[in-house]
Structure 1
Amino acid sequence: MRLSQKFTTPPGRDRKNWTEPPFWQLDHLRRTWETSSNGRERIENDFPGYVQHAYKTNGVIFSCILVRQLVFAEARFAWREISDGGRPGDLFGSPELGLLAKPWPTGTTGELLARMESDVSLAGNFYATTVDKAGRVGRAATGPGRRIVRMSPDRVTIVIGSESGDPDALDAQVIGFDYQPRDGEPVALLADEVSHYSPIPDPQARWRGMSWLSPVLEEIAADKAATLHKRRFFENGAVPSLVVTFDKDVQPERFERFRAAMDARHRGALNAYKTLFLGGGADAKTIGTDFQQLDLKGVQGHGETRIAAAAGVPPVIVGLSEGLAAATYSNYAQARRRFADGTIRPLWRMAAASLQTLILPPSELASLWYDDRDIPFLREDRRDVAEIQARQASTIRQLVDAGYEASTVVASVAAEDFSLLRHTGLFSVQLQRPNTTQPQGAPFEQEDL
Structure 2
Amino acid sequence: MPSLLDRFARAAGFARTPHLAQQPATTPPATKSVSGGFALYAEGRATWTSCDPASLARVGYQRNPVVYRSVRLVAEATASLPLTAVAGEGRGLLALLARPNLRESGTAFLETIYADLLLTGSAYVQAVTAEGRVVGLQSLRPDRMRRVPGPDGWPAAYVYTVAGRAQRFDQGEGPVPPILALALFHPSDDHGGLPPIEAAASALDIHNAAAAWNKALLDNAARPSGALVFAGASLSEAQFDRLKGELETNYQGAGNAGRPLLLEGGLDWKPLALSPRDMDFVEAKNAAARDIALAFGVPPLILGLPGDSTHANYAEANRALYRQTLIPLARRTGQALAHWLEPVFGMVEIEPDLDRIEALASERESLWRRVQAADFLTASEKREAVGYPVGSPEG
TM-score tier after normalising by the smaller chain length:
0.7 to 0.9
1:243 Cα shift?
2.4
Equivalent residue, structure 2, for 1:48: 54
- Answering whether residue 302 of structure 2 is matched by residue 317 of structure 1, we say yes
- Corresponding position: 1:114 with 2:111: yes
Distance 1:277 1:413 in 2: 78
Q: Where in structure 2 are the equivalents of 1:58-137 lying within 5 Å?
A: 58-81=64-87, 94-131=91-128
Distance across 2 between alignment mates of 1:232 and 1:273: 15
Q: CA deviation at 1:205?
A: 1.6
Structure 1 residues 252 and 140: CA distance shift in structure 2, 3 A = farther
Q: How does 1:47-446 map to 2 (within 5 A)?
A: 47-81=53-87, 94-131=91-128, 142=133, 146-161=135-150, 165=151, 167=153, 173-190=154-171, 192-198=177-183, 200-237=184-221, 241-246=225-230, 247-251=232-236, 254-322=239-307, 330-356=312-338, 359=341, 364-376=346-358, 378=359, 381-395=360-374, 397-399=375-377, 409=381
Which amino acid in 1 is paired with 2:220? Answer: N
TM-aligned CA deviation for residue 57 of structure 1: 0.7
Preserved CA contact (<8 Å) 1:194 1:358: no
8 A contact 2:148–2:159 mirrored in 1: yes
Give 3-state SS (helix, strand or coil) of 2:200's partner.
helix
- The Cα of 1:50 is off from its aligned counterpart by 2.0
CA contact (8 A) 2:147 2:155 kept: yes
Partners of 1:45 and 1:386 lie apart in 2 by 45
**Equivalent-residue separation in structure 2 for 1:314 and 1:356 (angstroms):** 30
Helix, strand or coil at the partner of 1:308: helix
Q: Deviation per CA, 1:103-140: give whole Å up to 9, x if none.
A: 23242222112111211111100101133xxxxxx576
- Taking the aligned partners of 1:77 and 1:160, their CA distance within structure 2 comes to 34
In 1, are the aligned partners of 2:51 and 2:201 still within 8 Å (CA)? no
The one-letter amino acid of 1:336's match is: N
Give the Cα separation in 1 of the matches to 2:136 and 2:147: 22
Following the alignment from structure 2 to structure 1, what is the Cα–Cα distance between the partners of residues 207 and 335?
Answer: 36
Cα displacement (A) at 1:244? 1.8
Change over 3 Å in CA distance of 1:414–1:102 after alignment to 2: closer
Paired letter, 2:247: M
Alpha-carbon displacement from aligned partner over 1:269-301 (angstroms, at most 9, x marks no partner): 101233433344433344433322221111112
Matched-pair contact (CA < 8 Å) for 2:338–2:347: no
Kindly indicate whether the alpha-carbon contact (under 8 Å) linking 2:331 and 2:351 is maintained by their aligned counterparts in 1: yes
> How far 1:393 sits from its partner (Å)?
2.7
| Alignment check: 8 A CA contact 1:124 1:210 kept | yes
Tell me the equivalent position of 1:37: none
SS in 2 for 1:104: coil
- 1:29-69 Cα distance to aligned partner (Å, 9 max, x none): xxxxxxxxxxxxxxx95332222111111112112212212
Q: TM-score, normalised on structure 2?
A: 0.74
* Matched residue type, 1:176: A
Deviation at 1:219, TM superposition (A): 1.6
Change (3 A) 1:399 1:261: closer
Does structure 1 retain, via aligned residues, the 8 Å contact 2:223–2:252?
no
Distance 1:372 1:189, change over 3 A: farther
Amino acid at match of 2:113: M
Structure 2: gaps spanning 5 or more residues: 1-49, 388-395
Match of 2:250, SS state, is helix
SS in 2 for 1:180: strand
Q: What root-mean-square deviation, in Å, do the aligned CA atoms of Structure 1 and Structure 2 show?
A: 3.1
The residue that corresponds to 2:19 in the other structure is none
- CA deviations on 1:172-201 (whole Å, 9 max, x unpaired) are x44332222232133224172222222x21
Shift of 1:73: 2.0
Identity of aligned residues (%): 22
* Residues 335, 351 of structure 2: 8 Å contact kept: yes
Tell me, in whole angstroms, the C-alpha distance in 1 between the residues paired with 2:384 and 2:326: 30
Task: Report the Cα offset of residue 257 of structure 1.
Answer: 4.5
Tell me the amino acid that sits aligned with residue 99 of structure 1: L
CA distance in structure 1 between the aligned counterparts of 2:295 and 2:325, rounded to whole angstroms? 11
Quote the Cα distance in structure 2 between the aligned partners of 1:115 and 1:353: 17
Given the two structures, how large is their TM-score scaled by the length of structure 1? 0.66
Q: What is the rounded CA distance, in whole Å, between the counterparts of 1:387 and 1:120 in structure 2? A: 34
CA distance in 2, matches of 1:196, 1:70: 21
Secondary structure of 1:103's partner?
A: coil
Shift in alpha-carbon separation, 1:178–1:302, aligned structure 2, 3 A: same
Task: Evaluate the alpha carbon distance shift between residue 264 and residue 411 of structure 1 in structure 2; reply closer, same or farther with a 3 A threshold.
Answer: closer
CA contact under 8 A between 2:222 and 2:247: conserved in structure 1?
A: no
Output the CA distance in 2 between the equivalents of 1:223 and 1:254: 41
State the shift of 1:147 in Å.
3.1
Q: Does the 8 A contact of 2:338 with 2:348 survive in 1? A: no
Distance 1:242 1:288 in 2: 7
In structure 2, distance between residues paired with 1:196 and 1:166: 17
Shift in CA distance, 358/129, structure 1 to aligned 2, threshold 3 Å: farther
> Contact 1:94–1:362 at 8 Å: present in 2 too?
no
SS at match of 1:300: helix
Give the drift of 1:334.
3.1
Match of 2:33 in 1: none
Task: Name the aligned partner's letter for residue 209 of structure 1.
Answer: G
